[in-house]
Amino acid sequence: MPKKAKPTGNGKEEGSVPCKQVKIEAAGGPSSILNFESPSDLFESLISPIKTETFFREFWEKKPLLIQRDDPAVATYYRSLFRLSDLKSLCSRGMYYGRDINVCRCVNGKKKVLNKDGKVHFLQLRKDFDQKRATIQFHQPQRFKDELWRIQEKLECYFGSLVGSNVYITPAGSQGLPPHYDDVEVFILQLEGEKHWCLYHPTVPLAREYSVEAEDRIGRPTHEFTLKPGDFLYFPRGTIHQADTPPGLAHSTHVTISTYQNNSWGDFLLDTMSGLVFDTAKEDLEFRAGIPRQLLLQVEATAVATRLSGFLRTLADRLEGTKELLSADMKKDFVMNRLPPYHMGDGSEFSTPGGQLPRLDSTVRLQFKDHTILTVGLHQDQSDETQEKMIYIYHSLKNRRETHMMGNEETESHGLRFPLSHMDALKQIWGHPAVSVKNLKLPTDEEKENLVLSLWTECLIQVV
């Protein structure tokens, strides 16, 4: 079990970092449950009573936030998100070890995986849970649980980043995972039972990869507490943590919602730098000059470091006046792999255009803006192998919920491509609540009609 923090005279843990702990009395009514009116409303209700500005100023990427709620309505709502009893019906739908479910236990500070081969059978799963005191880890439950889909889809709109989740179900007196840190921002909702947590100083703040840490390296916990149904916990990537279900009590179920994997300034620089170099090389002869002979055969590159730093200064100067950056992968990857909009029914409103066909005398407005990305990229002409800048519009309206965050599942992009000359017209549509087709900044009426018809066919605009 985790090593306990040593309390000091003032009741705080020795050497602890400030950790906001909020206790909320029962408020009752719908205001105590999540608000889905908008992405920002959803997030604010998730961290209530902490204000969004306070959260991002004091906690985001800095330190943990613990919110302990004494509200039966919130606890009941959280329990509805996922229960141990849900596993029986889910297993009947065809779950597989490794892909959908992991069975594991922390033994002597190490993770022991107890997966079988192939398909998961509920009776065997329950046997391992009861007799081996194993933790059941259910991957990406938003694929099957509608309310988690609803929450995570709104959070993806809010953060502009993929949002995944895992459910952990641990029997009494057991621990599933050894001390470790993650490469994601973590939000934990306690759904069933109680979970005892220990958090430790990061060895790698804002870590870029997952890593297990040995118990003798992490020192004493900076924070120690027990989560109960309805409680909320946030901690930044890199925070070392471990958790166990107290003995003698019922099992614990919590959902870990995570975001901001590979979403740093470093990642963004890597994504946009290639496009910036491409543009600069078109205009700067020095960038097109050949590298010294045998440079690629040299062991050390010290001799060219000064030359490279000069190129970087040129790029920095050019960047100051750049309005549009070429995104190589990040924007496209996000929109290709995110959740489709939450909906009831068959979702036909996202695959079949509806309403009036747009004409030159129509007024149109953009819809599903939170699920659409407009970016500039390079297009390779197959006939003469030349590259030119084009506008790409990607959207997630036709994405498949069933493959969300599953990694090895094949995904495809949905969207449109336009000449760079259409940028001003597209900015009009993106930047105004409604716009008259005949007032679009394009030279001909035919181009104006073709543009709005293309967007309407993809269900991205409607006539108002």
- Residue 337 sits in the same domain as residue 381: yes
**CATH no. for residue 289?**
1.10.10.1500
Residue 186 lies in a domain: yes
- The pTM (predicted TM-score) of the whole model is 0.90
Residue 268 lies in a domain: no
Among 321, 343, 375, give the residue marking a domain's end.
Answer: 321
- Residues 338 and 162: beta-carbon distance below 8 Å: yes
Residue 16 lies in a domain: no
- Residue 386 sits in the same domain as residue 310: no
- Residue 201 sits in the same domain as residue 64: yes
Q: What is the pLDDT of residue 304?
A: 86
Q: What is the pLDDT of residue 94?
A: 96
Residue 22 lies in a domain: no
Identify the segments of the chain with pLDDT beneath 70. 1-32, 348-349, 381-386, 408-409
* Long-range contacts (CB closer than 8 Å, 24 or more residues apart) made by 269-275: 271/327, 271/328, 271/329, 271/330, 272/325, 272/326, 272/327, 272/328, 273/315, 274/326, 274/328, 275/325, 275/326, 275/327, 275/328, 275/377, 275/378
pLDDT tens track for 391-442: 999 999 999 999 999 986 677 788 999 999 999 999 999 999 999 999 999 9
- Residue 317 sits in the same domain as residue 336: no
**CATH no. for residue 374?**
3.90.930.40
- Residue 178 sits in the same domain as residue 304: no
- Residue 45 sits in the same domain as residue 191: yes
Q: What is the pLDDT of residue 326?
A: 78
- Residue 252 sits in the same domain as residue 300: no
- Residue 91 sits in the same domain as residue 119: yes
Residue 274 lies in a domain: no
Residue 197 lies in a domain: yes
Residue 395 lies in a domain: yes
Overall domain count for the chain: 3
- Residue 224 sits in the same domain as residue 372: no
Distance CA 371, CA 338 (A): 9
- Residue 288 sits in the same domain as residue 149: no
Residue 332 lies in a domain: yes
- Residue 305 sits in the same domain as residue 383: no
- Residue 181 sits in the same domain as residue 58: yes
Give the domain extent around 191. Answer: 39-259
Cα–Cα distance list, 17 to 85, 236, 237, 239, 407 (Å): 38, 13, 16, 12, 35
Q: What is the pLDDT of residue 91?
A: 97
